[in-house]
Structure 1
Amino acid sequence: MNKLVDGFGRRFTYLRLSVTEACNFRCTYCLPNGYRRTERVEFLTVEEIGRLVEGFARLGVRKVRLTGGEPTVRRDIGDIIARVAAVPGIETVAMTTNGWNLARRIADWRAQGLTNLNVSLDSLDRETFHATTGHDRLQAVLEGLDAALALGLRSVKVNAVLLKDTLGPGLEAFASFVRERPVAVRFIELMRTADNPDYFAANHVGGGVVRDWLVQEGWSPRPRERDDGPAMEYLHPGHAGRLGLIAPYAAGFCDSCNRLRVTARGNLRLCLFGNGGVDLRDLLGPEQDAALDERIRTSLFGKTAGHRLNLGEPGDTRNLSQFGG
């Protein structure tokens, strides 16, 4: 029985769990100067992560996504995957990665319990990829993506941030990319954060541009299913994969929210673009299950109806690596 219900009647079955704030890429829209630790901090341990996920599972969460920063910079990421996968009630163990060592490690992660994979891949053009991420590793990421497909994961998706300079050729390239690959590519609107106002103003593209292009090119909306996330996906009869759009600036975007976030420090974020959060780490020791469950459950009544991005208010989110996007 799901016990995670907020004041607006929304039920939460999906946990996005950041395991680190560190990232080894320097994406222009997130960490253009790279990750720089400003203080000594210990992120949640494998056992703390296990106890945390057990608490959410007792309350009705069935899907956990491991995020960062870049989650695979943690040497114990395989142990984390295995610990989460072993929690009773968890049906889906997903991870979002930039793919930097995907080809080398994906078989191990699959064996340890990973069921779903999202790869952040903003461009299929080598020079553009290098300029956007700070690394000339496009071929390695693509090899890892194809290795994941060969392993038969339940779901393999690509996340591509929409940027004004790459919009036109990017849409066409990804449409060709999914012609033979059973991959869902979701174009994500660039989001304003505290650290990127100037970049946002220069590079933001509204999701309507993508929506119009998809319809013009013969793509049709895929019927939504009960547990679908915020992406609206499109199908084309000549393609094995799908294209989709995540448009956080669209009206009603938050109405069907079904996900909660916990940071790498053990803080429950009620909204990605909110302020503050609820500390859970002090309740991740033994014999604290009841107190943990109660704090999680009652915290949900502090969740607002939606973010305030349209008003230019990103909350206290400095960049997306901070809380896992």
Structure 2
Amino acid sequence: MLDQYGRRINYLRISVTDRCNLRCRYCMPEGVQDVGMKNILTFEEIWEIVKVSVSLGITHIRITGGEPLVRKGCADLILGIRKIPGVETITMTTNGVLLGNYAKQLKEAGVDGVNISLDTLDPEEFCQITGKRELPAVLAGIRAAKDAGLPVKLNAVNRKELDPVPLVRYAQNENLPLRFIEMMPVGYGKQYVGRSNEELREMLEKTFGTAEKLVDSEELSRMGSGPAVYYRFSDLKVPVGFISAIHGKFCDTCNRVRLTAEGYLKLCLCYDQGVDLRHVLREGEKENLRTVMEEAIFRKPAAHCFERPSEMTETHEMVKIGG
């Protein structure tokens, strides 16, 4: 469907849990308050929302968290989504810690690809960032995903302390796309906003040669339909992507909405606008679900205001919103 600004909204990010097995400093260093499973959407409720979403034009689903794989039966949830007519792609964002155990199941359930968060290859720095010594498990998860035939992309947050060169070299050795994501001033992330992706790209050119923006439509289609802008460096074989939410604002082409683990349909990261779909499903208004969702999505804001933090109305941590 089209929102009030004529953007085609066809992408739904579904947080299946706000729990996580890491304690990243820029996300949830102190953990998260347990709201109890009764307040989290059931699989049946998620399937119902996806069915209605598809009727409104949603074709791409991304499963997120917290860490989605800490939710028991996550592969079964995905299998149910895959059976819904009209769903074209199902992808997942994960920290990779449990991926070694679930990669084969996810492939069999119908997952089309996984984005794996990897902010450093240094074991000590990994522990400092995440609070856990799980780097070997993440690297094993990447290998397991590749072995299972799952397309893999690596995500690294462009925090102010980031050393990007080892990550780029690792991604090239593994023949995997790597994307650098600008730190967004949401929750704890406000403390770690650093250089822009443009500055980072210029830094990488000193090591990996001249960068040219990727424009080949066929190659770009293999990289997915997300907001990353890819560059090919003269000394590298795999393009490097940059997701620049702050310094390369792409709100005019934003095609997504988010569903939190507690069932809140969220329209933009900056604002608390949206609608409580859990209430709709559980309080006798189920027959109105499509209308409620359609009216909410139509009102999607024109753009975020990260460059003007005082105008932000969202007060939740990113883990409560859905990564």
TM-score scaled by length of structure 1? 0.89
Secondary structure of 1:228's counterpart equals coil
1:151 corresponds to which of 138, 148, 153: 148
1:206 correspondence with 2:161: no
CA deviation map 1:27-65 (0-9, x unaligned):
010111122326775211111111111111111111100
Partner of 2:320: 322
Q: Shift of the alpha carbon at 1:318?
A: 2.5
Residue pair 1:184, 1:242 contacting (<8 A) in 2 also: yes
Partner of 1:219: 211
Q: Shift of the alpha carbon at 1:145?
A: 0.6
Summarize the Cα distance change of 1:187–1:57 in structure 2 as closer, same or farther, 3 Å threshold: same
CA deviation map 1:69-113 (0-9, x unaligned):
111111121111111111111111111111111111111111111
Secondary structure of 2:114's counterpart equals strand
Q: Shift of the alpha carbon at 1:243?
A: 1.4
Q: Shift of the alpha carbon at 1:135?
A: 0.9
1:161 correspondence with 2:154: no
Partner of 1:53: 50
Q: Shift of the alpha carbon at 1:20?
A: 1.0
Partner of 1:297: 294
- For 1:187 and 1:234, locate their aligned partners in 2 and report how far apart those are by CA, in whole Å: 11
Instruction: Give the CA RMSD over aligned residues.
Output: 2.3
Residue pair 2:179, 2:243 contacting (<8 A) in 1 also: yes
2:167 corresponds to which of 169, 174, 188: 174
Residue pair 1:17, 1:264 contacting (<8 A) in 2 also: yes
1:44 correspondence with 2:44: no
1:109 correspondence with 2:109: no
Partner of 1:184: 177
Residue pair 1:231, 1:246 contacting (<8 A) in 2 also: yes
- For 1:102 and 1:267, locate their aligned partners in 2 and report how far apart those are by CA, in whole Å: 27
Partner of 1:272: 269
Q: Which runs of 5+ in 1 are unaligned?
A: none
Matched positions, count: 314
Matched letter for residue 108 of structure 1: Q
Secondary structure of 2:246's counterpart equals coil
Summarize the Cα distance change of 1:54–1:263 in structure 2 as closer, same or farther, 3 Å threshold: same
Matched letter for residue 321 of structure 1: V
CA deviation map 1:209-243 (0-9, x unaligned):
11223444233222265873221112246545331
- For 1:161 and 1:205, locate their aligned partners in 2 and report how far apart those are by CA, in whole Å: 11
Residue pair 1:52, 1:284 contacting (<8 A) in 2 also: no
- For 1:142 and 1:97, locate their aligned partners in 2 and report how far apart those are by CA, in whole Å: 12
Summarize the Cα distance change of 1:315–1:288 in structure 2 as closer, same or farther, 3 Å threshold: closer
Residue pair 2:90, 2:110 contacting (<8 A) in 1 also: yes
1:137 corresponds to which of 134, 143, 155: 134
Residue pair 2:27, 2:187 contacting (<8 A) in 1 also: no
Partner of 1:242: 239
Return the structure number with greater helix share.
Answer: 2
- For 2:225 and 2:129, locate their aligned partners in 1 and report how far apart those are by CA, in whole Å: 29
Q: Shift of the alpha carbon at 1:281?
A: 2.3
Matched letter for residue 62 of structure 1: T
Secondary structure of 1:179's counterpart equals helix
